């Protein structure tokens, strides 16, 4: 049963709910995979630090690899989630409150 403020048919709401849930699952899976790659690379690099003749230099190399990989993992997930939000929004912005900028004209 649709409420007064929601003219969306039940079938369309179910479809939207399922698509949103699937996208959330894909995004979470992507984040877990990116973090698994990050942890694997970091473990491999730390192993190299402990066996190196110059551990300070190897630690700098590890930071040079780990920091961009960490940023890339979260940027990829954020971009994926952001594009999902824009794809699922089917209503237009009608009031300043919808944009979240009512306090900032």
Q: Each residue of 39-76: pLDDT tens digit?
A: 998 999 999 999 999 999 999 999 998 899 889 888 88
Tokens, residue 76? 């990829």
Tokens, residue 60? 């700098």
Token pair 């919808």 is found at 98
Polymer length of the chain? 105
- The residue-averaged pLDDT of 77-97 equals 60
What pTM was estimated for this model as a whole?
Answer: 0.60
Query: Who has greater pLDDT, 73 or 104?
Result: 73
Q: What is the pLDDT of residue 94?
A: 53
């Amino acid at each position: 049963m649709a409420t007064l403020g929601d003219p969306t048919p039940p079938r369309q709401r179910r479809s939207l709910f399922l698509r949103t849930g699937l996208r959330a699952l894909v995004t979470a899976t992507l984040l877990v995979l990116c973090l698994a790659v990050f942890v694997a690379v970091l473990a491999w690099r730390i192993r190299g630090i402990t066996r190196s003749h110059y551990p300070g230099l190897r630690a700098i190399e590890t930071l040079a690899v780990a920091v961009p990989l960490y940023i890339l993992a979260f940027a990829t997930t954020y971009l994926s989630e952001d594009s999902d939000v824009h794809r699922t929004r089917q209503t237009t912005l009608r009031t300043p409150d919808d944009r979240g900028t009512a306090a900032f004209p």
